[in-house]
Structure 1
Amino acid sequence: MTEREQEILQLLRQDPLIPQQQLADQLGISRSAVAGHIMKLMQKGHILGKGYILADNPYVVALGGANMDIRGSSSHRLRQGDSNPGQVSCSPGGVARNIAENLARLGADCRLITAVGDDLYGRALLESTQRAGVDVRPVLLLPDAATSTYLSLHGPDGDMAIAINDMDILSRLDAARLAPQRELVRHAGLIVADANLSAEALAWLFAEAGDTPVFMDTVSAFKAERIRPWLGQIHTLKPNRLEAAALSGLPLDQASQAAAVADWFHHQGVTQLVLSLAEQGVYYSSPSVRGWSPAPRVNIVNTTGAGDALMAGLAWGWLQQQPLDEATQLAQACAALTLGCAATNNPTLSLAAVQHMCITLQYAEQS
């Protein structure tokens, strides 16, 4: 590789979607010269395709919901039909957006594809997500739509009592609007998506994903039905008890029933299944390993976002080529850090913090 080619690769690592003219201006050479160097880098296998996707720099595409989380919490038992004293707070949320932020905090190169309105919430979401390290340039900014919001009410135990989501804007994320991101999706090292996507968007995603592994978050029992036609193309699926039972049609009231549910999903084509079963822990299953990982013993402040942190940990573990049992333990440490934070995403989450939490949880299990 020539010195000039090394300079170009360095600039592309900083900005994989940089225009050729901007490259030329920074290097002080002509645009045609830049094009020639890029062609040689593609021939040598250092660049995989359009968009300057680098062969030695795998990245994650997170595709799905982004919204502002409005959380109401009470220190006393919630009383239906009455005004409950408590605290109200706002924080960036949305399943795919949360996963992307957590992955970025772990050190992954993550690109977010979603839609937000050109409004106060939308601009705040983009700013905070970018500040966390996520590439938000693929986000669709719609001036004639309102940014998604998610309203949740919590009792003194931190558990969600009820929630309402207003995510109509995601219906605008159709095949036509996703088309400009085709190369970005095709060359990703990993795709993480959520069932907030419409049937049309999911069909587009699985048509473009090719051999790239797709990790899917089911979001809710209602929205989980959207992914049924695509179960055979999902690499890793992370449903909770209600979502898994709704999709499989099998009972999941007892821990002993988890293996049968996992077998059903594998029969549909799902490679890895991670069942999140609240206080019973996590049941994980793949062609090579299956078993239980107990729920971490932590002081729960807020349950919103913990499942998204779990998925981010699973994705990070896969990127590091960890076996599923090890990836599950790391993912639970991500969730534990999030459970102990009032915000939807823990701003102190990092690879070092997760590794420390893993050690803490292992010690707690042994004591």
Structure 2
Amino acid sequence: MTPDVLCIGSILWDIIGRSPASLRLGSDVPGRITRLPGGVAMNIAMTLARFGLKPAILTAIGRDAEGDELIAACARMGLITDHAYRSEDLPTDRYMAVEGANGLIAAIADAHSLEAAGDKILRPLANGALGTERAPWPGLIALDGNLTEGLLGQIAASPLFAAADLRVAPASPGKAERLLPLLKHPRATLYVNLEEANLLTRTHADTAPEAAAALLARGAARVLVTHGGKACAEGTAGAGVIADQPPPVLVARVTGAGDTFMAAHIVAERGGADRATALSRALRAAATYVSGEIGT
């Protein structure tokens, strides 16, 4: 089966504790704890699949019981895992977060196996399964911005990505500078929040449109900058910056919102939407997600 889009990055188990109460350091409150497939690449792939696309995942998954469960969960959702790197000696990665009414309180990402696998996850792009250096993958790639700095730098210079429509998913603010090698990539679209944009540009923009303009000034080809419930922006080199306001919703969850925004934007553009329409649809999808609904 030929995929519609490749999702490269973390596929793991999300263990999320949520409480309707506002939390502070040391809070001990009732709530719900869930264990679901997660990770940046997974969140994007799941959303793309809900919109009817066929995503394939390039990642590292252990040959342990948790890895087998994860592969089975992907199959049930219509995700293609044929090209995933299955390691004999690396465990399946995990992510743990605590969320309250006042947002994300803390999170720990145990993605050591993905980091240890390194460029092994890219083998299908070189060995003919999905492409070669002479005939690189020509379609959409959703790239996890939380990959290691070395691997992101390798991807930025690799001929294996020379023909791709490269969409770079949000990194966590602490890892935002890992995206610098991709900032000036001519085929890359960067999806970042305001804090990440300011870290990349070393500026102090107060709004998403200002941050988008600063990224374009630094040589970015295309960027989308989110700012929570405030105005968000899309900037394209040579075409300027546009902005839109997300619909107001009651926030029930935050983990995965940026990935949902990105996936919905990809789907909108794949369907022929113009810049303004694609931005609006992505904001509505992200709002629906954080409100606790699923949305399609």
TM-score (norm 2): 0.88
User: Share of identical aligned residues, percent?
Assistant: 28
Q: 1:263 to 1:76 in 2, by over 3 A?
A: closer
State the aligned residue count.
Answer: 286
How far did 1:268 drift?
3.4
Distance in 2 between the 1:193 and 1:119 partners? 25
- Pick the aligned partner of 1:216 from 163, 168, 177: 168
Report the residue type matching 1:308 in the other structure.
D
Unaligned runs of 5+ in 1: 1-14, 17-57, 351-367
Question: 2: distance between equivalents of 1:119 and 1:334?
Answer: 34
Change (3 A) 1:82 1:221: closer
Q: Which residue of 2 aligns with 1:327?
A: 278
The aligned counterpart of 1:191 is 141
**CA–CA distance in 1 between the matches of 2:191 and 2:280?**
14
User: 1:301 corresponds to which residue?
Assistant: 252
Asked if residue 180 in structure 1 is aligned to residue 124 in structure 2, the reply is yes
- Preserved contact between residue 15 and residue 95 of structure 2 (Cα < 8 Å): yes
Q: 2:228 maps to which residue?
A: 278
- Pairwise CA distance, 1:93: 0.7
Matches within 5 A, 1:17-96: 59-96=4-41
Which deviates more from structure 2 when the two are superposed, residues 202-211 or residues 231-240?
202-211
* Contact 2:62–2:90, Cα closer than 8 Å, also in 1: yes
| 2:70 partner amino acid | L
Which structure would you say has the larger Rg? 1
* Alpha carbons 1:138, 1:181 under 8 Å: kept: no
1:68: Cα distance to partner?
1.0
- 1:163 is aligned to 107
- 1:176: Cα distance to partner? 4.3
Which residue of the partner structure matches residue 30 of structure 1?
none
8 Å CA contact 2:209–2:234 kept in 1: the answer is: no
Confirm whether residue 337 of structure 1 aligns to residue 281 of structure 2. Answer: no
Query: In structure 1, which of residues 117, 125, 130 is the aligned counterpart of residue 62 of structure 2?
Result: 117
Q: Does the CA-based 8 Å contact 2:11-2:38 persist in structure 1?
A: yes
Corresponding residue of 1:27: none
Are 2:122 and 1:150 equivalent residues in the alignment?
A: no
Quote the residue 2:197 is aligned against. 244
Match of 2:264? 313
**Using the alignment, how far apart are the partners of 1:188 and 1:147 within structure 2?**
30
Report SS of the residue matched to 1:144: coil
Conserved 8 A contact 2:213-2:241: no
Please give the per-residue CA displacement for 1:155-209, whole angstroms capped at 9, x wherever unaligned. Answer: 135x211111111111133234522332425224111101221234324433111
User: 8 Å contact 1:289–1:324 — kept in the other structure?
Assistant: no
Task: Give the aligned residue type for 1:180.
Answer: P
Structure 1 or 2: more strand by fraction: 2
